[in-house]
Amino acid sequence: KEMGHNLEGTVKHFSHHPGSFRHSRDCITEIVFSQDSSYLATSDMDKCVCLYKLEGDQKWMYVGKYRSHYHPITGLLFLKFPTNAEEEAGSNSNRYDIRHDTKFLPHSIPVPLPSTKPIYPRLISIGEDKQIIEYDVGNSSPIKGLQILSITRLSQSAIPTAVVQHPLSVNSKEDLLIIANNLYKFQMYNSYNKMCRKTVLSPTYAGPLTKMSIIDPKMGQYYMAYSTSHKVIGLVKLPLDGNPNRAVGLIAHPNMVSNLVTDYSGKYLFTAGGEDKTINMWIINTDVIDNISAQGGTGLTPFSNMMEGGTTGVLWDEMKEYFYYAQIRSQGENTTSPRIIGNTVHLNQISSIMRALGYYPTEREIEDMINEIKYSTYFDNGLTTEYFNIDTLIRTYVNHRPVFGVSQDNLQKAFELIGVNGDNEVNVEQLLANLEERGERMSKEEILECMSCLLSVKIDPIDGMRNKMKNKIQGKSGSSDSFSLSE
């Protein structure tokens, strides 16, 4: 199923010493090499990551193994670092150990790319448990085993399905990871403090993306090849912005696509199937995606076309009205001072605008939106911004809202998660416990406010929430009546 770039010597060693590589109890799903080919890592269906190190006698030494995820592993990656002539000559004078800095990395601002190269390669994995795990390669050994450096939860709902490192150059200012998820989104994370830097739409041709590979630049322009689990492969033009005209796809296999890799020249793409037992070799022609991107329009045109009705629709008019009303709210609705109407709105109004438009992001998603806009020019001029314009609002709305909306089935599944019984009823005590203790926890004040609006009953905290609310809330009928959803 798997293909690697540096397999020649490895395959020979496999054939001569087959027993030394039998450290997995289940099928290996991914094989990756470090940038200098000194380390090899594998992931398997037993949710384990194994690490090997190339010794001086050209033999692979087993370093350790860790069952780091509690759901299947969906991505394994050694991070690269830009090289220069001094490093290629073998100098170690400008290398540092990231283990010493990780504990002190700020989580409120994006971390810049260090000016020196790490002593040890950085290894990360993602899984269906919604976690990204970084391993402490430098502190791992056959005695200590494979050590974990950090564990970060990426999301409450989206399941990561693939990961790749954003292209790096000697002028790179930030080390970013591109993570695709099952909600048809690309999310870019700072690789050091795991801060979400950007969220955009991904292709939606045949299921979520499961493999991604960066293609070497063509006159400074990068592209990314991708595959889905079912039939389709394609190309995306970087940088990622959510424009659907910058992505193409085609049917490559009759059913499953198990893996995808590109060669170092950026001219060829290799895909492996499943039951068809076929490996296909493709010639990459980036001129096609360049032409489609140019014909699709520039600026806001591709994004406005994705809105219901386009620039002449009701949603477009509502968005403009809410944008200007947000300016009035930020200045105070009851103020008697002269109104100052400009082209920007303060960031603290973005959540209200999104909810008015029918998109209800969680507090974590709102924080990601604010950080995305606030630090959008941070590495260009060192400044943050507290305001956004109508163009930014449209791009953010189109990229962040659910691709297929919220259906009745989604709501019913949500009720099941909070404990709906066989009679389609949920106990109030269990509901409140879930809201207060699980996921993005809500305070009692927030729950009181929401329940008052939902039940159209004024709930007094002094008398107690539980005494005022009914003993049980209807499940199916509650979701339909309360939210007025059509079938």
Lowest mean pLDDT among 243-257, 303-317, 440-454: 440-454
pLDDT band at 453 (very low <50, low <70, confident <90, very high): confident
Per-residue pLDDT reduced to its tens digit, 398-433: 999 999 877 778 777 777 777 666 666 667 777 777
**Mean pLDDT (whole number) for 163-188:** 88
Instruction: Identify the pLDDT of residue 235.
Output: 95
Least confident of 68-72, 171-175, 279-283, 291-295: 171-175
Region 240-248 average pLDDT: 93
How many helices (H) and strands (E) are present in the chain, helices listed first? 14, 24
Q: Supply 245's token pair.
A: 């005209």
- Which residues, 6 or more positions from 28, have their beta carbon under 8 angstroms from its beta carbon? 1, 2, 42, 43, 44
pLDDT in tens, 339-351: 777 789 999 999 9
pLDDT at residue 259 in the model:
92
* pLDDT in the model for residue 341: 75
Query: Which secondary structure element, helix H or strand E, spans residue 42, and what is its range?
Result: strand 39-44
> What is the identity of the amino acid at 472?
K
Instruction: For residue range 94-146, list pLDDT tens digits in order.
Output: 444 544 454 445 566 777 777 666 788 999 999 999 999 999 999 999 999 99
Provide the H-helix boundaries in 332-424.
350-356, 363-374, 378-381, 390-400, 408-417
pLDDT of residue 462: 43
Exposure b/e, 143-176, CB count within 10 A at least 16 = b: eeebbebbebebbeebbbbbbbbbbbeeeeebbb
Residue 226 tokens read as 């991708």
Helix (H) or strand (E) holding 163: strand 160-165
Digit-coded pLDDT (tens) for 51-103 = 999 988 778 999 999 999 999 999 999 998 865 533 443 444 444 454 445 44
**More reliable by pLDDT, 487 or 148:** 148
Closest CA to 33 of 78, 99, 93: 78
The dihedral formed by the CA atoms of 110, 114, 117 and 119, expressed in degrees to the nearest 10: -70
Amino acid identity for residue 320 in this structure? K
Mean pLDDT of 334-363: 86
Q: What is the CA radius of gyration of the chain?
A: 25
Cβ atoms within 10 A of the Cβ of 25, count? 11
